[in-house]
Structure 1
Amino acid sequence: MFTHRQLLIISFLLTEGIPLSSSFLSAVLGVSERTIQSEIKEMNQYLPVDETFSISSKKKMNHQELSPATISWLKQLIHENKEINSHNLERKNLILMILFFEKNYLSMEELSKRLFVSKTMIHKEFEHSWKLREFIEVSSKKGLKMKKSESFQRNISAKIFSYSESLVNLLGLPADTQNKFEQVKKITNSLFLAHQYFISGKSLALFQNYLLMTIIRNKMGFHLVEGVDCLPEKPPMSALLNEIILALNEDFSALDIDCIQSKLNELNVTTYVGEIEEIGYYTLIKEKLTIFFSLLDAELGIKIKPSRTWEERFFMHMQKLLIRLDNGSDNDNYLKRKMNQTYPLTFQVLRDYFLPTFEREIPESELSYLVLYFAEFIEADERALDILFITDSLPSVIYHTSELIKKYSGFKVNHIKTVTVYEYLQKPADFEKNYEVMLTTSERVILESNRAFLIKELFNKEDLSLLSEYMSMMIAYRDRRRRQWFHDKFLKNIEIQNISSGNLKMQGITFIGKTITHEITLEEPLIFISSFNKQQASSIEIFQFQKKYRHRSKEIEYIVVSSYNPNEGNIQSFYHELHHLLKINALKKLTK
């Protein structure tokens, strides 16, 4: 049947009073005139006998011999095509949704007809989407069919469902779907608030979708099966869910209720009204987190001392995550590439130390959310400073000056170490080696050091602007030194190695299915493979593809492989500079 592009051509050709040429359509649709003529030739095959479209290549002349019934039929198809393309679901998710609501095999022809795309386009979707390949059974004789359990299909359909009238029509959902969806939203919004169960907006939308999918699929004959759709353990029904079920007045099975309660338990909470020590996994999380912090201190020299607020947020998030893992579920994360791109060191640390400590397989999507809790402690902060304050002032003056700098300088101050003028003059080189910013109230120190900055003994807010300018200058100086160190040690003599997709294994890069081991998925179109290795010196290797390689729906030009030895120190500086290298423009500049 007609494809999306063919229906676009038909919509132009059916426009009354506007003569068209194939060259005009070629320019509008961005395809060659030969393609336009080929599409029209194929379109004519679907028309009734003796009815055709024709168009001149140069003259503004198009002609059709169509009956009123055919014109009406074509306009209906154009309307349906617009409806199909009016919602915001990706095509791969549309394919999944269609097959979620099919009990029998669906032919490739029928699927292409419903989506107004060619079979070739559907094949391409399968090539580019691991979800389609993993979730769908493909038979050359029978067609396509979902091969996952009912509980799995409810979970995934709840994630990707986005209500629209066109989607309801496409999937053949019950006529009262919109009314039922509005009822679900109204009841849950009201009862969640009444029970002070505060969850994120995305979590609420997910739960509402899950309830709707459960109701609709039950009506359409898709039921959970005892022994197949089982939970690890039966969760007790909460008062909140009991009221939701009574208000909905739907015929839920006992297994339905268990699964709905399980979904409710795993939703991310934004505000917890109880004591954090009372949550189910508190002792486990506390023990594992203590071990993790000790490992980071011993292995990487990274100290983490979180606040009470941090602990409350993290413990609640981690508890919900562990429940999701127990239920075989996870949160989608459409920002994981950006998170990993921004915080590559934190992701690497979590993968190498956090996962083994907790002894759980945590999906990359969920792990990337955890990155945001730890990045402030692990990543190098470009505006964070260690300050040496050289003064013989009285304690109250030292305290007053230190607090002003911490609160109002505009910079994050990790630590202010105070020493007397006498202490500094005994070994000035040692102090200068360890501190980027040196402040003093002594002119004697200024004579000894060209880096020290003289401030008033009674410092006040009006003096901060000049100090901030000095601190900015010292940060720039620090960054130049760090950039030069990184370039001289890792990039100065680097050889960019040419590589083809056929010899990836020869270069020591291991594939497991379609996944590259040790890869960190980035937003930039490159493959980044990172590891910690105490047995060899830190290194960076860069590979450039002779021809772009398709991977994770992106055209890859480079592979960056980094290995870091934690014993060398400077781990935050190394990854800070590596972060700047993980961009296509930076790699191209280096290649030149």
Structure 2
Amino acid sequence: MLTYRQLLILSYISSIEGGIQASFLMQALHISEKTLKKEIREINQILPIKEQIEYSARRGYWLSLVSSETQELIEASFQNNLEEYIDKDRTNQILMILLYEKDYISMETLANRLFLSKSMLNRHMDKSWRLRKYIEVSPVKGLKIPWSERQKRNFLAKYFFLNTSTLPLLNEKIDLEKLMQKLYYILQTLMVEHHYYVSGLAFTTFYHYLLITIIRQQQGFTLEDEASPLPVSNLMNEIALTIQKEL
């Protein structure tokens, strides 16, 4: 059976004629080249021999044939991953709110923030393995994600991105577009000045981490003290000082 991510990869490759470049898939799915290749290998282990995903440097990835058997496999996998397709946005909204709460939040408050009834929110949480895995539930206090601040920032930087639709969930008034543009300019300028060239997923994740750090620090979230602080490069020191001065 195909996983949710494998279904997404297969849907992209099968729907775009002439082939699709690896860089597009990596950017669209927020995954590394190593992860993409691993997923392709696993997909090909499931697909019939005559319907293997092929690759060339010029065309990228493509499929020559999609039989009725493969269509049935896709449909069965879709049904198996139905929660991912239908409820992923709502799950992300719930996680986003809880990741930006300093303490427990009641089911009633969370339901009101999402414009849902408590019964509908309960049903969604019961069937979402992600929510069951990440959220600590107290019958008295309510809901909370019991992670350290560092864990929360890393998770948000890798899997979430703030935008004009998610920001209102945090009850935060901020000129996000202006902040994003200014931060991007600071990073690009200083990295070039220090002859430190980073691009692709590495740069994007670092940029997201700093953006989230700025917003969370404005809201009063601070990192725990480290027993053995890591040494900081001249570039990182200058980035920190420039952000403090200009943002």
Q: Same fold (TM over 0.5)?
A: yes
Q: What 5-or-longer segments of structure 2 have no aligned partner? A: 1-87
Alignment of structure 1 residues 431-580 onto 2, 5 Å: none
Instruction: State the Cα distance separating 1:174 from its structure 2 match.
Output: 4.0
Aligned AA (2:110): L
Aligned residue runs from structure 1 range 122-161, under 5 A: 122-161=121-160
C-alpha deviation, 1:136, in angstroms: 1.7
2:168 is aligned with what amino acid? N
Q: Cα 1:188–1:157, aligned 2, differ >3 Å: closer, same or farther?
A: same
SS of 2:165's equivalent in the other structure is helix
Structure 1's 152 and 200: CA in aligned 2 closer, same or farther, altered over 3 A? same
| Separation of aligned partners in 1, 2:209 and 2:176 | 13
Distance 1:140 1:236 in 2: 43
Show CA shifts across 1:143-166 (max 9, x none).
212211111111112223323223
Alignment partner, residue 95 of structure 1: 94
Q: How many angstroms apart in 2 are the aligned matches of 1:121 and 1:203? A: 38
Partner of 1:181: 180
Name the residue aligned to 1:113. 112
Other-structure match for 2:231: 236
- Residues 546-581 of structure 1: CA deviation (Å, up to 9, x unaligned): xxxxxxxxxxxxxxxxxxxxxxxxxxxxxxxxxxxx
Name the amino acid aligned to 2:89: E
Q: In 2, distance between residues paired with 1:133 and 1:200?
A: 35
Which whole-Å CA distance do the structure 1 matches of 2:125 and 2:165 have between them? 23
Counterparts in 2 of 1:62-81, with a 5 A limit? Answer: none
The residue aligned with 2:241 is 246
Distance verdict in 2 for CA 1:207–1:102, change over 3 Å: same
Q: Which residue of 1 aligns with 2:210?
A: 211
The one-letter amino acid of 1:206's match is T
Distance 1:125 1:238, change over 3 A: farther
Describe the SS at the equivalent of 2:222. coil
Partner of 2:137: helix, strand, or coil?
A: strand
Distance in 2, matches of 1:184 and 1:128, equals 39
Question: Alpha-carbon deviations, 1:474-513, whole Å to 9, x = none?
Answer: xxxxxxxxxxxxxxxxxxxxxxxxxxxxxxxxxxxxxxxx
**Letter matched to residue 106 of structure 1:** I
Range 170-179 or range 137-146, more displaced: 170-179
Query: What SS is found at the alignment partner of 2:98?
Result: helix
1:414-429 to 2 correspondences below 5 Å: none
Q: What is the CA distance between 1:182 and its match in structure 2?
A: 2.0
Report the aligned-residue RMSD: 2.5
Number of aligned residue pairs: 159
Deviation at 1:96, TM superposition (A): 1.2
Secondary structure of the residue aligned to 2:158 is: helix
Q: CA deviation at 1:220?
A: 1.0
Q: SS at 1:244's partner residue?
A: helix
- The amino acid of 1:154's aligned partner reads R
| Structure 1 Cα separation of the partners of residues 202 and 142 of structure 2 | 35
- Change in 2 beyond 3 A, CA 1:201/1:144: same
**Structure 2 CA distance for aligned equivalents of residues 128 and 190 of structure 1:** 46
Contact 1:93/1:160, CA 8 A, preserved across alignment: no
* 1:245 aligned partner, one-letter code: A
Residues 339-377 of structure 1: CA deviation (Å, up to 9, x unaligned): xxxxxxxxxxxxxxxxxxxxxxxxxxxxxxxxxxxxxxx
Task: Work out whether 1:225 is the aligned partner of 2:208.
Answer: no
Q: How far does residue 128 in structure 1 lie from its aligned partner after superposition?
A: 4.1
**Aligned sequence identity (%):** 42
Whole-Å separation in 2 of the counterparts to 1:204 and 1:122:
36
Q: What do the CA deviations read for 1:59-117 (whole angstroms, capped 9, x no partner)? A: xxxxxxxxxxxxxxxxxxxxxxxxxxxxxx72222111101111232121221222223
- Equivalent pair of 2:135/2:143 in contact (CA under 8 Å): yes
The one-letter amino acid paired with 2:230 is: P
Q: How many angstroms apart in 2 are the aligned matches of 1:144 and 1:159?
A: 23
Q: 1:445-500 deviations in whole A, cap 9, x for unaligned?
A: xxxxxxxxxxxxxxxxxxxxxxxxxxxxxxxxxxxxxxxxxxxxxxxxxxxxxxxx
- The 2-side partners of 1:184 and 1:136 are apart by 31
SS of structure 1 residue aligned to 2:116 = coil
CA distance in 2, matches of 1:152, 1:216: 16
Q: Is the 8 A contact 1:109 1:119 kept in 2?
A: yes
> Whose Rg is larger?
1
Counterpart contact for 2:164–2:176, Cα < 8 Å: no
* Structure with the bigger percentage of helix: 2
Instruction: Name the SS for the 2:144 alignment partner.
Output: strand
CA distances 1:153-188 after superposition (whole Å, capped 9, x unpaired): 111122233232232222122424432222111111
Question: Gaps (5+ residues) in structure 1?
Answer: 1-88, 252-592
SS of 2:223's partner is coil
Deviation >4 Å, runs of 4+: none
CA contact (8 A) 1:158 1:213 kept: yes
Greater relative contact order structure (CA < 8 Å, 6+ sep): 2
Alignment partners' CA distance in 1, 2:213 and 2:117: 32
What is the alpha-carbon distance in structure 2 between the residues aligned to residue 132 and residue 250 of structure 1? 39
- Give the letter aligned to residue 148 of structure 1: W
